Amino acid sequence: MYTLTYESVATNKISGTEMEELLEKARANNLRDDITGCLIYYKGGFVQLLEGSKEKIETLYDKIKKDPRHKNVTLFSDDEISKRTFPNWGMAYYPIDENNTNKYEYEQFKRNLILMADLIEPTNVTSKQFWKKIKTMIAEPPM
């Protein structure tokens, strides 16, 4: 089994409806291809971890790199793994919209992600790098 994590920047703002459509399609494809993972979208940036067969993950990542909805797709870790970090998540997603989020919602968002990071025990370098990137990302307040 294989995992990778990358970050990218949205080329345009993504509405909640657009994100839900993207996720609905991704979840169906991931179920078909036995891919699990987690996607965080914050301040126009994405961080995603994917897990599954190396062939399926590499094929998906090649497709992701060509997707015009984002740019600066940067792989920052990949590993061969024996155990999934997100075994039951077809694609988890946690949104936060800096234009419609008050300080309380932002703080709750941060607490939820930190709680997830503390509850999910990283089993490989890639998942450790994913959570490190998430904690760095949320340390910056929304604009």
Question: What does the pLDDT look like over 14-54, one tens digit per residue?
Answer: 777 887 888 888 888 999 999 998 888 877 888 999 999 99
Structure tokens at 120: 């999910």
Contact 53, 84 (CB under 8 A): no
Contact 131, 37 (CB under 8 A): no
Give the model's pLDDT for residue 96: 57
List beta partners, residue 8.
Answer: 46
The pTM of this model reads 0.80
Distance CA 83, CA 137 (A): 26
If pLDDT is split at 50, 70 and 90, which confidence band does 101 have?
A: low
Nearest to 40 by CA among 105, 101, 95: 95
In terms of pLDDT, which residue wins out, 92 or 22? 22
Structure tokens at 138: 């949320």
Q: In this model, does residue 78 exceed pLDDT 80?
A: yes
